[in-house]
Amino acid sequence: MLMDQIAEHRDRLAKVEQRLRNYFGTPTWHLELEAVDELVCTILSQNTNDINRDKAFTALKERYPSWEAVRDADPAELQYVIRIAGLANQKGPNIQAALNDITRERGEIDLDWLKEKSPEEARRWLVNLRGVGPKTAAIVMVFALGMPAFPVDTHVYRVTGRIGLRPKEMDVTKTHAYMEQIAAPESYGSLHLNLIDLGREICHARKPKCAICPVCDLCQFEDKNFS
């Protein structure tokens, strides 16, 4: 039964992926960043929009000359610098904790050495950093380290459940691994971004715009909205 379900989801995903590529195009990532930069940028991105994330990241880089300076900064000052990203009292400590963990483990603040590890080893190492979960680790892997990983954020989790690309009862953590099982590794990054665009622009949490959705006929969502 499980294998039949995987095959069904894989087949539907292939159709969804093509439709989304036709509709949104082939997306590109916001910036090509070094792995530590991507890690910090992703922490800043949590629960905010891309504009405020980028403003906070730019302010951080302008204020501090190095990641060592960020690590050792006065916590209150750091939180003030990144305040535009929101939740600064959480993000500031998480950034400093992750940088301290990297320093403690490696003696310097660098993550490029993970490129020599297997994806499983890299993921395991990243999620052991304080403040880093499966989504953040996957983003660093696929967009900064060139490793196969499928990030699942709120939008991706919502639309994959509605469309019928995963078991309905599957939690967000297990969805990371499931999407990696049914999607082609070379499309992880672009598919992730197009699913986010679908969630942001059309498949809204409260009132999805099903009438203009490019995958409406493939979608398993029972409460479609055509108003």
The string over 56-86, giving b where at least 16 C-beta atoms fall within 10 Å of a residue's C-beta and e elsewhere, is bbebbbeebeebeebbebeeeebbebbbbbb
Annotated catalytic, 15?
no
Say which amino acid occupies 172. Answer: V
User: CA 47 to CA 42: how far, in whole Å?
Assistant: 10
User: CA 182 to CA 193: how far, in whole Å?
Assistant: 16
Token reading at 154? 């709120």
Check 55, 61, 91, 135 and give the catalytic one. 135
Neighbours of 194 (CB within 10 A): 24
Cα within 13 Å of Cα(70), Cβ side? 30
Catalytic residues: 135
